[in-house]
Structure 1
Amino acid sequence: MPTHPSFDLIARPYRWMECLTLGRSLEHCRLHFLPNLLQQRRALILGDGDGRFLAELLNQNSRLRADAVDTSGAMLHLLSQRCEVRAPNASTRLTTHQANALTCPLDGPYDLVVTHFFLDCLTQPDLEILINHIAPTLSQDALWLVSDFHIPNGLMRLPAKILVRSLYLAFRILTNLRTTKLPNHASPLQKAGLTQIARQHRLAGLLVTELWQFQSAAR
């Protein structure tokens, strides 16, 4: 088995696997704050899978240029194809990088970072490394969009725990992902100078999407 996770095997069926598991709930999370991103000009997109979000973002924001980073060449291929079909001049506005987001050289400054269902693939130490790697490349008032799974309180807590554990097990089998629990992204984002400015949840709190804003004076 490979040492690092590989998402190539699930690249093509990923959309249908997602729909069979939670319908269109993840897609709704990704797109919820899209209207807030139409003034951004330089984006860093991490782990967007087959590119459904990025294609729509490039289509609606015609002046945006984006760097898309993913370890999966198959995912990046699908992402590029989808963006070229959906967005005018996508090939001139999109640069893909098959690399580890923790060490990939970054060509900022960025006024937008997007991590849809990506941070949950990281351990807590790796998440903190990632945020510290990206923070110096952010422009003043940059936005960071996060969508992720969440363990809510109340009646949904136990079902959410069971579902999240089951998903981690499935991804361990299919991709060799070694992460076993959701990391806490709020604390390291705050330490890096970001403040949460908006939040939306779905499925009784199982899914959350958050908008964070960077203020360099807070670093």
Structure 2
Amino acid sequence: MSDSVRGYDRLARWYGVLEKPVFRKDLQLARVALLSELPPVDRILMLGDGDGRLLAEVLRTQPSARVTSVEQSPRMRRLQKRRVTQLGAEDRVRLVCQDARQWTAGGETFACVIAPFFLDCFTESELECHLPQWMALVEPGGWFYHVDFVVPAAGWRRLRATFWSAVMHRFFKWQTGLTVRELVPVEAFFDGADWVIQQTQTLNHGFVQSRLYRRNGLPLATLGHSPDDTRPPVGGM
């Protein structure tokens, strides 16, 4: 078991509590901020959702969707499973306990990929390697929902964000062996012709941001492709 997995296992029980001293409810508000902007979709991939608070809201707001959640921490996965069971949604969810960098979708694509406070865990070189792969899992006409910390451009908001970002990176380095030392902007990855930003919402004095991107192109169903053709069995909890 890696230092990262052991660390997130230790933190799993306290994850929600640790957010409140600095962010109060803002991180959870950011996680769910743009869910209402998503149209009904059938296949969702969630990367690094942690304790499953967002997963539960996705299941509520997307009652017809099948969800694959990839999370490396076994204890986080157990918390996700508990929330799924409470909602009676076991038949719609596949929980995968694996590092997302090593997980492969087996040819499946998704109508929406959700990355909540996940991409900030990676260095620039890791993002250059893996983020395009995760983006490629979004089918044409699909969505990428990104929630994360950002550093404002200037002023006291930038100073505040820089300070708390440094504190968080030191804490997670201590607890999980995180090697990232600063936030890496990811907006440039979505600047190409394939992606259009649909909505943005900012919280916590500009330090927390939710972004909803859409991939250009017609949905696969419109082109005569049935998503069920490649859908794996669900319920592998």
TM-score, normalisation: structure 1: 0.91
Question: Gapped runs of 5+ residues in structure 2?
Answer: 219-237
Residue equivalent to 1:145: 145
List per-residue Cα deviations over 1:17-72 (Å, max 9, x = no partner). 11223110001101111112250110010111110111111122211001101111
Q: Which moved more, 1:196-205 or 1:127-136?
A: 127-136
Question: What number of residue pairs does the alignment pair up?
Answer: 215
Cα 1:193–1:8 change in 2 (3 A) is same
Hey, what's the Cα distance between the residues in 2 that align with 1:51 and 1:154?
A: 35
Aligned counterparts of 1:40 and 1:99: Cα–Cα separation in 2 = 24
Deviation readout 1:81-129 (Å, 9 max, x if unpaired): 11221x33x1111111111212211152201111111110111121222
- Equivalent residue letter for 1:164: S
Residues 168-219 of structure 1 show CA distances to partners (whole Å, capped at 9, x for unaligned) of: 10111111111111112111233482221111111221111101111259xx
Instruction: Check conservation: 2:3, 2:176, Cα contact below 8 A.
Output: no
Partner of 1:100: 99
Map 1:35-50; keep pairs closer than 5 Å.
35-50=36-51
Cα distance in 1 between the residues matched to 2:96 and 2:193: 24
Superposition map of 1:55-70 within 5 A: 55-70=56-71
Please name the residue that 2:207 is paired with: 206
Q: 1: distance between equivalents of 2:149 and 2:47?
A: 16
Offset from partner CA, 1:120-149 (integer Å, 9 cap, x none): 011112122222212332212111111111
- The question of whether the paired residues in 2 share the 8 Å contact of 1:150 and 1:206 is answered with yes
User: Residue type of the partner of 1:145?
Assistant: Y
CA distance in 2: counterparts of 1:141 and 1:215, whole angstroms? 5
Q: Hey, what's the Cα distance between the residues in 2 that align with 1:204 and 1:4?
A: 29
Aligned mates of 1:156, 1:17 — CA distance in 2: 21
Task: Report the RMSD for the aligned CA atoms in angstroms.
Answer: 1.9
Q: Could you say which residue in structure 2 is the equivalent of 1:190? A: 191
- How many Å separate the matches in 1 of 2:131 and 2:101? 9
Separation in structure 1 between the aligned mates of residue 50 and residue 211 of structure 2, nearest angstrom? 19
- Partner in structure 1 of residue 135 of structure 2: 135
Residue 53 of structure 2 is aligned to residue 75 of structure 1: no
Deviation at 1:2, TM superposition (A): 4.3
Which secondary structure state, in structure 1, belongs to the residue aligned with residue 9 of structure 2? coil
Cα distance in 2, alignment partners of residues 198 and 38 from structure 1: 13
Deviation of the 1:4 alpha carbon: 4.4
Q: How does 1:113-192 map to 2 (within 5 A)?
A: 113-152=113-152, 153-191=154-192
Q: Determine which structure has more spread, i.e. the larger CA radius of gyration.
A: 2
**Percent of residue pairs identical:** 26
SS for the counterpart of 1:11 is: helix
CA–CA distance in structure 2, aligned partners of residues 209 and 143 of structure 1: 13
**Corresponding residue of 2:24:** 23
Gap regions ≥5 residues in structure 1: none
Q: State the TM-score, normalized to the length of structure 2.
A: 0.85
Asked if structure 1 preserves the Cα contact closer than 8 Å seen for 2:150 and 2:185, the reply is: no
